[in-house]
Amino acid sequence: MASKVLMKGNEAIAEGALLAGCRHYFGYPITPQTEIAAYMAKKMPKLGGTFLQAESEVAAINMVIGASAAGRRAMTSSSSPGFALKSEGLSYLAGCDLPAVVVNIQRGGPGLGGIQPSQADYYHATKSAGHGDFRMLVLAPNSVQEMLDYAFEAFELADKYRITAMLLSDGTLGQMMEPVDTATKVPGPSIDKPWALTGTGEQRPPNLVNSLYLTPEELEGTVFVRYDRYKVIEEKETRYEEYLTDDADIVVVAYGAASRIAQNAIDAARRDGLKTGLLRPITLWPFPKKPLFRLAQKATAFVAAELSMGQMAEDVELAVRCQRPVFLCRRTGGVMITPEEVLQKIREAALGQDPAA
Amino acid sequence: MTIVFDKTKALTEAAMHYCPGCTHGIIHRLVAEALDELGLLGRAIGVAPVGCAVFAYNYFNCDMVQAAHGRAPAVATGLKRARPECMVFTYQGDGDLAAIGTAETIHAAMRGENITVIFVNNAIYGMTGGQMAPTTLLGQVTQTTPYGRDKALAGSPLRVSEMLGTVDGAAYVERVAVDSVKNVRGAKRAILKAFKTQAAGQGFSLVEVISSCPTNWGLEPPAALEWLREHMLPVYPLGVYRDKIGDEVAA
């Protein structure tokens, strides 16, 4: 029998992590994600795990590096300004090929910004999480159930590909409550980590977790190997959801909280007789480029709806190879888009106007 | 035939990259011998810093991780929480530990994190070519204090052991030097005690090792040791700054 529990999005993430066997959480308080830390602080001691409130965001991500290097499932969570600070650690995690799960419950920026929901860390998450050539696998849930599901899934993916999996969400989903089924999750077979630091027992050669290579060709080689792995992830792990796209002339692209608003607009557009559909990226990296290009063969125009200034819209334009106009419905700084605003853009797109005009 | 000295198996065969006369080699040996003599090598995980000792992972014959600049105590915290049965140590210089990593150091001590920190203080940034460190002496000439460290511009030397001596979570803090045979023996005793402190689950231990940098001080190795004695030891007095457990675990 399915057991449903009413939970906050942030709590669902924490529960998903615990179900995945995460027993090492390191965090630092910042609104609007602090419920994750609070949940972990309550649960971890009873599960024999570690909850540690670090002295800084930087320390927290480096503690994740330590626990992950020791072969454990480890995570941290924060909100936008916190992730700017964690960038150093995200780069080292990639350079060391360490699996980790990080959660960004986004708020408005730049600077101290505000504490209302935003999607303005899209670039940071998908393109420039830190210095150097690397990627994170970025998952964008759009319900409290998915907060749990993808938090769980993030650990499996991180271990499988020795990559940092980021759950990129926002203050809306973090703070809202919905019923969640928690009984469905069982971790897969544990993945062997022969590289982990466990002490040699003087029985095997020492293991080394390192990102330093002073010979350029050697460093380049490690990056090439990593990018081969990224290619496999692009082929196998790209996730998205389509809604009414079969006959759609206009395709709205939106993720996370914005996708729920967009869905209302699409229903309204359909009532007006406009054939409109939704493509919701679930992985933001890898971005669902192929399905978007496929849709571009039939659709006449796209609408990118996002809580940022067109950061995701650029990926939509790249995915459709600029063959179709991409209209942009955007609000930022903690302001939500409304279904009416999305509908207005759908109407403009249906008229075949030039979005740049 | 009696063997009077043998290289410890806790050091690898790799030739060290340190400059002639640098005391890092001695300190590496002392750390390695301590792990070996206490039978802890198989349980050891070391954290290498950024700085001259960045390649420490090539020299210690145990599991190693290379940390970002200053973050070694945070990485060590994650390791120790994940593997409490392991002996986790960091090996850090003064730029790494006392500048960019000050917060990580103090808070690891504050939590009583059960790790051992080997802190090498040579009053200068070595690897980057001799810039001012927080531990640089007043008047000391470096690349970034070409007219000598001026208190009005750059403050005064930071005394890490004294500072950590006030932190309740710290179990054992001692400052030693490696300028003479006598002091090297004292340093070995302190490092042994630090690891014993961790093995006994007593909490944070740190050994500050006053060290020389002939290359960036612009001195011949013997003159550098003389300079250390004459100028550094008065500012950085040797001694025990915190000892929660006394001789109990040291025995």
Distance between CA B93 and CA B213 in Å, rounded? 12
CB-based contact, A208 to chain B, within 8 Å: yes
For the residues A8-24, what does the mean pLDDT come to?
97
Distance between CA A151 and CA A102 in Å, rounded? 9
User: Between chain A and chain B, how many beta carbons pairs sit less than 8 Å apart?
Assistant: 134
Q: Which residues contact A259 (CB under 8 A, 6 or more apart)?
A: A142, A278, A280, A305
Secondary-structure class of domain A5-237 per CATH: alpha beta
Q: How far is CA A282 from CA A6, A9, A119, A220, B109, in A?
A: 23, 16, 14, 30, 42
- Could you tell me what percent of chain A has a pLDDT over 90? 95
Secondary-structure class of domain A240-350 per CATH: alpha beta
Q: In the 8-state DSSP scheme, what is residue B18? A: P
Distance between CA A40 and CA A38 in Å, rounded? 5
Helix, coil or strand: residue B188: helix
Mutation target to probe the B interface, by most B beta carbons within 10 A, among A23, A24, A47, A58 is A58
What residue of B is the nearest CA neighbor of A53? B111
Same fold, A5-237 and A240-350: yes
pLDDT at residue A355 above 90? no
The per-residue pLDDT of chain A, averaged, comes to 96
Q: Report which secondary-structure segment, H or E, holds B84.
A: none
What residue of A is the nearest CA neighbor of B50? A212
Handedness of CA A337, A339, A344, A346 (dihedral sign): positive
> Tokens 């696998």 correspond to what residue?
A137
Distance between CA A10 and CA A169 in Å, rounded? 10
Distance between CA B178 and CA B174 in Å, rounded? 13
**Could you tell me the residue ranges of all domains in chain A?**
5-237, 240-350
> What per-residue confidence (pLDDT) applies to B251?
44
Which of B65, B78, B79 is closest, CB to CB, to A26?
Answer: B78
> What per-residue confidence (pLDDT) applies to B249?
52
CB-based contact, B60 to chain A, within 8 Å: yes
Distance between CA A357 and CA A240 in Å, rounded? 30
The per-residue pLDDT of chain B, averaged, comes to 96
CB-based contact, B89 to chain A, within 8 Å: no
> What per-residue confidence (pLDDT) applies to B248?
56
> What per-residue confidence (pLDDT) applies to B250?
47
pLDDT interval class at A77 (50, 70, 90)? very high
What is the per-residue pLDDT across A134-143, written as a single tens digit (0 to 9) for each?
A: 999 999 999 9
Helix, coil or strand: residue B175: strand
What is the per-residue pLDDT across A101-114, written as a single tens digit (0 to 9) for each?
A: 999 999 999 999 99
Determine, for residues A199 and B57 on separate chains, whether the beta-carbon distance falls below 8 Å: no
Determine, for residues B78 and A209 on separate chains, whether the beta-carbon distance falls below 8 Å: no
One digit per residue, the tens of pLDDT, for chain B of length 251 reads: 899 999 999 999 999 999 999 999 999 999 999 999 999 999 999 999 999 999 999 999 999 999 999 999 999 999 999 999 999 999 999 999 999 999 999 999 999 999 999 999 999 999 999 999 999 999 999 999 999 999 999 999 999 999 999 999 999 999 999 999 999 999 999 999 999 999 999 999 999 999 999 999 999 999 999 999 999 999 999 999 999 877 655 44
Structural domains in chain B plus CATH codes: 24-243 (3.40.50.970)
